[in-house]
Amino acid sequence: MSAANSGAPDEECSSLQRIAVEVADRAKSGEQVEAFVSRSTYTTVRAHGHDIESFTSATSAGIGVRVVHDHRQGFAWAGSLDPEVVADALREARDNAAFAEPDPWVGLAEPDGVAPVPFDAFDPAVAALPASRKIELALELERMVLAGDPRITGVRVASFSDSSGRFAVATSTGIAGSGRGAWCSMSALALATDGDETYTGAGSTVGFSPDQLDLAEAANDAVLRSTRLFGARPATSRRLAVLLEPRVASTIMGILGSTLTGDRVLKGRSPFADRVGESIATSALTLVDDPTDHRSYAADSFDGEGLACRRNPLVVDGVLQGFLYDSASGRRAGLPSTGSAVRGVSSTPSVGCQALSVSPGTGSFDDLLSTIDDGVYVQSMTGLHSGVNAVSGDISVGVEGLMIRNGAFAEPVREVTIASTLQRMLLDILAVGADVEWLPGGTGCPTLVIGDVALSGI
């Protein structure tokens, strides 16, 4: 079994890979064995009231083992890489397989010949940043927010977070791969008061290294979002255009992405199940899931089953191209895996989006704003869990933001609801901006303008 690494040689990655390969090589006759191994370190610093509220730093390691025999799957995991614990996890997975219900589609991934795209987003500066500096940064962000506007009466939390991790996966079917990654971020939640009105606003910054963090951007964003809604009132009910900035637009695209996975399609839980090759959106929309795009904070070279990540076009010029599959859902659909298995050490693989992105259109945020005669700029959405039905596509969520009149921001608005269906919203996209923003979750999205949305207020 040969091993592949997604970036530069790394002794710790090699060590994890050896553990995974050793476990996979213990497969008995007629048995498939998969080992997924990881080790990570993270830090979180929270500042409040000009002091450190909490400082958390931890390192974790673990292994997840899958055993498949006679179409029965067993799984076990452990939070240690001690050889005896690893051996116990393999034994437990075997025992669990003996009691599992048979599933004709269960099985490990098979090599498919797709070469991994080299990628190494691991800056040692993330792990090397002294704890004292992390504390300084959190306190500095809090000070910047407090100084941003006289109406800022507090900062509920200003935080610094970082994470460095490595993983390896190996299977008895001949797959072996490893990777590593590191990132850091900062965020602040500002509290603003004017008379009897109080609002909060969040700002953040993220980077692959500490040098990429922009505290001023995070502070200014938190201040702006917490202060511009004073005087907000419900608006008159009507149909209008909706302006979605990248972070809100990514929420809508995330809902779309969740409906384009093989398991949802096979279970009849996607409104787009039978529409491959059809136009499901305006021609301005192209949506891909591409973990090989190195601008994404979720970029990687291997998926959760050890197959090479690849660019998967989902919607191109408005036309639905297909769905995402892991090995199990692909077998059931009679199609190959799209390298879209996601997982953690404590779970078995499942199909999911990894790095969704919308291809840029034309125009800046201000350019798109200027095209709207009557609309609403959505700063935030509420009620997503109860107001979104990914099976039917129905969407009804509360929003707050600013009304748009004659191409410019007007009065602030709150206690209103926008309602449509996902299918209708995709067809009503009027413009896609050029301002793609890469968000901490790995999604890349520009500003979107969606027309003919129902606004319910007074």
Residue with tokens 């098979």: 110
Q: List b or e across 410-445, with b for residues whose CB sees 16 or more CB atoms inside 10 angstroms.
A: eebbbebbbebbbbbbbbbbbbbbebbbbbbebbbb
Q: With CA atoms as reference, report the closest residue to 308 among 321, 331, 291, 289.
A: 291
Q: According to CATH, where is 3.30.2290.10 located in the chain?
A: 4-225
Q: How many CB atoms lie within 10 A of CB 268?
A: 9
Distance CA 329, CA 84 (A): 33
Report the Cα 144 to chain-centroid distance in Å: 28
Cα–Cα distance list, 336 to 269, 276, 339 (Å): 21, 16, 9
Sequence-distant (≥ 6) Cβ neighbours of residue 149 within 8 angstroms: 192, 223, 227
Residue 25, token pair as written in the block? 């090589």
Measure the CA–CA gap between 212 and 184, rounded to whole angstroms.
9
For residue 16, how many C-alpha atoms fall within 13 Å in the half-sphere facing its CB?
Answer: 28
H or E segment to which residue 368 belongs: helix 365-369
- β-strands 72-78, 197-207 pairing: unpaired
Q: pLDDT tens track of the chain, all 458 residues?
A: 434 444 555 899 999 999 999 999 999 999 999 999 999 999 999 999 999 999 999 999 999 999 999 999 999 999 999 999 999 999 999 999 999 999 999 999 999 999 999 888 899 999 999 999 999 999 999 999 999 999 999 999 999 999 999 999 999 999 999 999 999 999 999 999 999 999 999 999 999 999 999 999 999 999 999 999 999 999 999 999 999 999 999 999 999 999 999 999 999 999 999 999 999 999 999 999 999 999 999 999 999 999 999 999 999 999 999 999 999 999 999 999 999 999 999 999 999 999 999 999 999 999 999 999 999 999 999 998 889 999 999 999 999 999 999 999 999 999 999 999 999 999 999 999 999 999 988 999 999 999 999 999 98
* CA gap 62, 222 in Å, rounded: 37
pLDDT, residue 6, reads 47
Which pLDDT score is estimated for 220? 98
Structure token digits, residue 134:
């992390």
Among residues 247, 373, 257, 263, which one has the least CA distance to residue 313? 257
Q: Pairing mode, if any, of strands 176-194 and 312-316?
A: unpaired
For the structural domain made of 4-225, what CATH number should be given? 3.30.2290.10
The per-residue pLDDT for 120 is 84
Q: How far apart are CA 28 and CA 315, in angstroms?
A: 43
Are the CB atoms for 326 and 262 separated by under 8 Å? Answer: yes
Q: Could you give the CA distance from residue 308 to residue 428 in angstroms, rounded to a whole number?
A: 35
| Strands, E assignment, 172-311 | 176-194, 197-207, 238-244, 287-289
CA 220 remoteness from chain centre = 24
Q: Which helix (H) or strand (E) holds 34?
A: strand 31-48
Cα–Cα–Cα angle for 132, 133, 134, nearest 5°?
90
Q: What is the CA radius of gyration of the chain?
A: 24
